[in-house]
Chains A and B, each alone.
Chain A
């Protein structure tokens, strides 16, 4: 007899989640539409595009950049983004910043959405404070010893975002064009912002 019509047995986690959800709904503590909407909001409504726009604004408006570095929570509110206790740290040719949460997974949701799994991994959490230059090299970012690395371990409710360096060759670009270049990896500090190579290869 074929088992093709029987779905795989639920995992223990799936089963426990189901039981807890059912109890909370039956007791009126939460409702189905509320649970669905939370999931939808974090899947679809927030994400790194917010941070990218903040970066693009900072690159093109020096006064905004100064406000962002001084009081990031207020500065992102100017663009309509609401967040908790944000600090923005600026990358320069001499200083490279990178963010981690060794104790759990604290991450600047307000500007980046929910973190990727690698940021929450034991590999990243254990190694980024100990050997950032090696880890960054493994992740594709080579930083010479002359560049100071600053690792921000997010141990409080302050949330950290990196203001990456603006890449060369983007003079005169619009904010929208610039924002499209900015990845969440650059805003965590594990990558630099790149101008993509032209289609068809370099001349």
Chain B
């Protein structure tokens, strides 16, 4: 979707500011949000669903939120959508903690789950899948990216739509985010790395001697003349 998250090429942001020796999490709640989302596989939603949920944030809110505030938004949306928590339960719990700020989150230990976690943390995340059809493109082919504006999840950013590029690599089949983010199945497609000349993307505004590479699924691409 054409959400605020699709930031490539946007103007108005200033210099990149780096924090010296920054902590991984700037507050304990950030770590908790991270952990909950990291365990989305156990909770029952996918990385594609987690990304799309954040993308649905109203643009003004997206741009005014911190990184983990956006994750929190996505976690809440996914938990509600999957029916793991209800809106009523959440409102009641919020009211409770507002009235009793000194109350703590209950502690429960689960040694069996903890043991399973060690395997989960070190398990490779694998998104590659077999595809029945042969690849439509090969390295060196000129391609044109699609120009349509999907309202759902997609990984073709606006700055690279309707643009001519060259296939730099073919990676085999991968889960297709545009369907997977909406619970419509994995539908793996051939994935390619496509190389774009900066001038193709930015015209006369491009800096010299630059190329931008994007990983794009086959249905994002058409053969170019």
Contact = CB atoms under 8 A, between A and B. Distances in A.
A145 interface: yes
A123 B16 contact: yes
Contacts of B211: 148-151
Nearest to B63: A122
Interface string B180-194: 000000000001010
A129 B109 CA distance: 45
Interface stretch (A53-61, A78-86, A171-179, A192-200): A78-86
User: Which label, helix, strand, loop or mixed, suits the secondary structure of the B interface?
Assistant: mixed
A160 to B, nearest CB: 9
Interface residues of B, number: 96
Contact of A82 (B11, B13, B122, B215): B122
A155 B108 contact: no
Interface string A12-46: 01111111111111111111111101110111000
Interface string B87-105: 0011001101110010001
Interface string B29-44: 1011111101100110
Given A13-B69, A155-B157, A23 B90 contact: yes
B204 interface: no
B144 interface: no
Interface in B12-38: 12-19, 22-27, 29, 31-36, 38
Given A23-B93, A121-B16, A155-B155, A9 B101 contact: yes
B17 A102 contact: no
5 contacts: A17-B32, A29-B43, A32-B109, A123-B17, A126-B8
